[in-house]
Amino acid sequence: MKTLSNGLSACSALLFVGAFSFLFWITPRPVLAQDAPPVPAVPAEPDAEGSSKGVILIAAKEGTTKFSMNGAALPDDLTKANAALSEGALIETGADGKVTLLFSNGTVSTVGPSTKVTLKEFSQEKFDAGDRSMGELNEEPSLSNVKLSLDFGSLIVGTKKLNKESSFDIESSVGTAGIRGTQFQVAQPAGGGFSLDVAESTVAFTPQGAAAPLPVVTGKGLDVAVGAAPVARPIKPAIAQAITQTNAGAFALTANVSLNVVTAKMDEAGSGEDGSNSEEGVEEGGEEGGEEGGEESSGDSGGDDSGGGDGGGESSAAAPAESPPVDNAQVLENNPDVKEGRKEGKIDERTKLVLALKLTQEQSTRFYAYPDEVQNDLLKEAPEVAQRLLDLNPPVEEALRYYDYAESTRENSLSALSDDLFAASLSTAFTERQLLDLLTYENAIRVKVLAEPAATSRRLMDVHFLGGDAVLFYGYSADLRGRILQLDKNEAVSALLRKKYDAATMAVVLGDENLVRFRTASDATVASPDETVDANVLGRSATFVADSHANGNDFLLDALLEMGEGKLTSDLLATGEEANRLLTDLTIAGGITSAHAFSAAEVTTNPFYVDAASVWKQVAADQFPDALTVALAGREVKLFAGDYSYSSILGSAADTFLVSASASLAVDGSVSFSGPADRSTRVVLAGGGTVSASSGTKLDVALADLAVASRHDLTLREVGVSAGSKVYLSSLRDMLIENVDVQATDEVRLDALRTLSADNLRFSEELRAIHMRATTLDLSNLDFPGQSAVRLESLKGGFDGKYPSFGSPNRAYGRVNFIENVRSGGNPLFDRSSFDLHGKNVSIGKIPGR
């Protein structure tokens, strides 16, 4: 490996080593949606005492339950569904009892049977509800501190993303679990012992009397016996699934709860009023006490209405110069479309709207100079807003871009920016997310950003480094700022600024030679200069850093160094090399090669491939527990039309050919697979993100089984799927099937964690069995073969133990819903009588274990 230039001092070399190790760290984040996230709600001013009380709503309860406060039992009318609990409340459940709770910070918790838990502390800053509902929150709306005390029993908890200043602790007799945005279960049997299972993120468990917490990560758990040390273990798949499904149901149940209702109950709790009798909150709907509940909440997501600051000594809310009086006659005259109408004594509705804006003659002229699309948007504004925009008079393309932003974004930009900054923001051509990022900074920083060339301004918003470090960035000289922005990776710029080097140090780190090295990733030094490192490791690490950088996996180096506490060992390097291969985009066209082939162990044990691995593990556990697997794996995987033989890649022993993607897996065209004739085999397509197939795609595995599974939603439209024996489709979220042919002789299984919607799904007549399972099943335009044994399972099973709902108006959450035109053997199943007569081959039940 090359050393640093002789022109650099020893100090410079150390600085280069430290800088390089983080510059290639890119932390991957799962993308849930393509739209920019809503601006987080700004905490309201605290009350006179400077504190606020959080509240807990009883979303649902069943079986034997008991609520008390300060030793006194609470009456039933104060503990019915929708009632609010506060600090000090004690909840007890019997062997058949269960309570679903909604915390005002967005957390949901399911109190299991035979449980005793105390809501010990709950404080939360007030926040602006902004006409939103709980389902719209991705993170808690304001800082909060929660402390529960679990005497015995079990709790399943799902939280929104918690602020780093917030806390959520669950105390027990053997220790405390500290939570930071996760899904988990804690259980403490009466008489002692404790268990913790984490399905997502990390929980820090601090044993009683210990100084340091023990991190328990996704897929792990621990057991603590009385008087014994904690014992770590993997989580059982059934428990992980139960946690995920329970929280999915709790979040769905509470999604429509209005934040306005929550803040009102917080105000009541803070003032000492009793708000538990309110009928607002978790609305009930459907059957059996609120299966779906309530109307959907509309409205915007709120936002920060605060003004800018002191940029240039001008207030962003400065009043415009006095305008000449409005001449309505001239306004009418400026509109050629209404001249003729005026002659006849008529004024149309559009002209009335223009008059309501109270425009000056100049503003009127500018208004009619815009195309109809902009005029229509201006007519929807309040008069003072329309007048201000017309005074600024942005070009047409800028006005159109402005009205492409969400209403809340437009309002925030107008209130936060002075006229000159607002005009500059429009001419910079920010995306909506970039503009929202700009609005989060103080006015002095906005002024500096908007003074940059437009391309630089946009890049600064994409770098995401200005928060907290803006003063430092603009404290550097123009030359240093230019050198910083010469780094071609935005993540590298952000990581460098987080080091907060002084100007002299930054000048050394970004010397001419080092800039070249950073940009080309050719000289990574992964160990301290005074350490003796194996020459083979050094050589491999240089290649690894260059390869991972070229492959877009710069984060791997920093992650490996963190795992090795600053040292890169041969074993860690092997893990990183394997991860870089796994996280390579893969295109399959024309044939199958072994270049991206992996064993099942490599796919399922690499710590950087956990999302895709979890999908395959679930499929294997459900359907193929004894599978011997060979995989083609990648990050983004595209499978194009062709005839593919996987016999050679399976070898003589394996029976399962897995195509795995850590992100998305896309299939396009007619794809057929063929395997060895000497044994039964199967083909599995599994995506850690989405799995999709273009319209007209045909998937054919003529002499084997076929499985398609996705960690996210699975959507198939205008697709044909066929297999020699069995077809298995699975989604850990929602599944949407539209106009799909499924051909198999033995069995077809469709499993979705949340909603399975099938419209115009067609089966082969000789099919032996059909099995569909989801929290809610919605079926339309479907004819079950008369000789097929059909099993339909949902969260709550059939009405009266055997019937679906009939018709769209009767659709129910947690049920099997025959929305429209469902048949068996060609006979319509439209009510209970017809179901009894013609649906004898169709059985409906509950999902086992839920």
Token pair 């950088």 is found at 549
Q: What is the pLDDT of residue 549?
A: 74
Predicted local confidence at residue 573, as pLDDT: 86
φ, ψ dihedrals at 400, nearest 5°:
-65, -40
Percent of the chain with pLDDT over 70: 78
Mean local confidence (pLDDT), 745-763: 97
Taking only the tens place, the pLDDT of each residue in 89-144 is 999 999 999 999 999 999 999 999 999 999 999 999 999 988 888 888 889 999 99
pTM of the model: 0.42
Is residue 150 scored above 50 in pLDDT?
yes
**C-beta of residue 650 within 8 angstroms of C-beta of residue 630:** yes
Confidence of residue 153 (pLDDT cuts 50, 70, 90): very high
Name which residue leads in pLDDT, 275 or 799: 799
Residue 108 has a pLDDT of 94
If phi > 0 it is left, if psi is from -120 to 50 it is alpha, else beta; for residue 185 that is: beta
Residue 3: closest CA among 529, 676, 398, 362 = 529
pLDDT given for residue 360 in this prediction: 82
Over residues 224-241, the mean pLDDT reads 87
pLDDT band at 509 (very low <50, low <70, confident <90, very high): low
Name which of 468, 551, 473, 542 is nearest 506 in CA terms: 473
Q: Residues near 579 by Cβ (< 8 Å), separated by ≥ 6?
A: 553, 556, 606, 607, 608, 609
Per the rule left: phi > 0, alpha: psi between -120 and 50, beta: everything else, 521 is: left
Residue 729, φ and ψ in degrees, nearest 5: -115, 135
CA distance 484 to 509: 10
- What does each C-alpha distance from 770 to 718, 786, 830 come to in angstroms? 20, 11, 20
CB atoms within 10 A of CB 295: 10
Phi, psi of 484 (to 5 degrees): -60, -45
pLDDT of residue 301: 36
Mean pLDDT score across all residues of the chain: 80
Whether the predicted pLDDT of 475 surpasses 60:
yes
19-42: b (≥16 Cβ within 10 Å) or e: bbbbbbbbebeeeeeeebebbbbb
The percent of residues in the chain predicted with pLDDT above 90, rounded, is 47
Q: Which of 40-49, 396-405, 724-733 has the lowest mean pLDDT?
A: 40-49
More confident residue, 255 or 740: 740
CA quadruple 280, 284, 290, 293: dihedral sign: negative
Q: Which tokens go with 495?
A: 């990581």
Q: Percentage helix, strand, coil, to 5, in the chain?
A: 30, 30, 40
Helix H, strand E, coil C: the string for 551-584 is CCCCHHHHHHHHHCCCCCCHHHHHHHHHHHHHCC
For 378, the 3-state DSSP assignment is helix
Is residue 238 over pLDDT 90?
A: no
Q: Residue 399 has what pLDDT? A: 92
In whole angstroms, what is the distance from residue 161 CA to residue 555 CA? 23
* Exposure class string for 615-641: b at 16+ Cβ within 10 A, else e: bbbbbbebbbeebebbbbbbbbbbbeb
- Using DSSP's 3-state secondary structure scheme, residue 207 falls into strand
> Residue holding tokens 């996704």?
218
CA nearest to 167, candidates 205, 123, 117, 136 = 123
Q: Is the confidence at residue 635, as pLDDT, over 50? A: yes
151, pLDDT greater than 80: yes
More confident residue, 429 or 32: 429
Per-residue pLDDT tens over the stretch 687-737? 999 899 999 999 999 889 999 999 999 999 999 999 999 999 999 999 999
Rounded Cα distance between 754 and 664, Å, is 20
Is residue 25 within 8 A of residue 557, CB to CB? The reply is yes
Helix (H) or strand (E) holding 255: none
pLDDT at residue 313, as a whole number: 37
- CA 678 vs CA 593, 673, 705, 744: distances in Å: 21, 16, 15, 20
Say yes or no to pLDDT of 14 above 50: no
Mind listing the domains of the chain with CATH numbers? 1-26+490-560 (no CATH), 56-271 (2.60.120.1440), 311-489 (no CATH), 586-739 (no CATH), 754-850 (no CATH)
What are the pLDDT digits (tens) for 316-331?
333 334 444 444 444 4
Distance (Å, rounded) from C-alpha 542 to C-alpha 526?
9
**In sequence order, what are the beta bridge partners of 171?**
149, 176
d(CA 79, CA 75): 7
Residue 86 pLDDT more than 90?
Answer: no
Least confident of 22-31, 250-259, 445-454: 22-31
For 466, other C-beta atoms within 10 Å of its C-beta total: 24
Q: Check whether 498 has a pLDDT greater than 80.
A: no
Q: 361-369 and 372-379 helices cross at what angle (nearest 10)? A: 130
Tokens (6 digits) for 389:
């925009």
pLDDT digits (tens, 9 = 90+) for 557-609: 888 878 887 677 888 889 999 999 999 999 999 888 887 789 888 889 999 99
pLDDT score recorded for residue 541: 64
To the nearest 10 degrees (0 to 180), the angle between helices 419-428 and 443-451 is: 50
Q: Cα(first)–Cα(last) distance of the chain, in Å?
A: 57
Q: Rounded CA gap, 618 and 622, in Å?
A: 6
How confident is residue 491, by pLDDT bands cut at 50, 70 and 90? low
Phi, psi torsion values for 657, nearest 5 degrees? -105, 115
Q: Please, where are the H alpha helices in 237-285? A: 237-254, 259-271
Of 43 and 145, more confident: 145
Question: Model confidence at 314, in pLDDT bands (50, 70, 90)?
Answer: very low
192-196, 291-295, 840-844: the lowest-pLDDT one: 291-295
Whether the predicted pLDDT of 531 surpasses 90? no
For residue 42, what pLDDT is reported?
A: 35
Residue 537: per-residue pLDDT: 59
Query: Confidence class of residue 466 from pLDDT cuts 50, 70 and 90?
Result: low
Structure tokens at 262: 């929550």
* Range in 3-17, 281-295, 383-397, 418-432 the model is least confident about: 3-17
CB 350 within 8 A of CB 326: no
**pLDDT surpasses 50 at 35:** no
Q: How far apart, in whole angstroms, are the C-alpha atoms of residue 449 and residue 455?
A: 11
Q: Is the pLDDT of residue 229 over 90?
A: no
Six-digit token string for 70: 């300060």
